[in-house]
Amino acid sequence: MADGILIEVNEMTQEAVIWFPTAVTDSFYQRYIIPQKDAESFGQSTDGRLWDVLLIFRSTALNCKESRMTLCIEFMQGLFGSIAPAYKAVEILVMVHPVDNGEPVITIMLPGYE
C-alpha cells in the first residue's frame, strides 16, 4: 500500500457481518472518516461514517465477484455558505486480497494508493 499506514476496523466489521479482517488506509481515514468540525454539528461522527462505508461496501460486495471494487460515497464536508451542509462525492477503492499466510483481508483506500 502506498499509504503505508493501515487502521484495523475489525470490531465494527464484525457488527456489519463482514467476515474478513478489514483495514482502512490512514489517508482515507484522516480525510473522510473523521468529520470536520462543521460536519459534527450536523450529527456526523467517526463511527457513523465508518459504519456507512462498511454497509455500502457489504451491500455492494454481496453482488460482486471481483476482488476489487470502486465505490462512490458522499461525505458531508462542512457548510456551504453559513447554514446548508456541503457534500463531496468520493471514489474509494476496496480490495480483497491475501496476506502472507494466504488468508483474505479487505483494505479500503483512496484510488491510487494500492
Model confidence pLDDT, tens digit, residues 57-84: 999 998 888 899 999 999 988 776 667 7
What is the tens place of the pLDDT at every residue in 86-102?
889 999 999 999 988 99
Domain that holds residue 50: 6-109
pTM given for the model: 0.87
Residue 29 inside a domain? The answer is yes
Q: Has residue 1 been placed in a domain?
A: no
Residue 44 included in any domain = yes
Q: Could you give the CA distance from residue 95 to residue 76 in angstroms, rounded to a whole number?
A: 24
Q: In this predicted structure, what is the pLDDT of residue 81?
A: 66
Distance CA 8, CA 50 (A): 12
Residue 74 falls inside a structural domain: yes
Total tally of structural domains belonging to the chain: 1
Is 99 part of a structural domain of the chain?
A: yes
Residue 114 lies in a domain: no
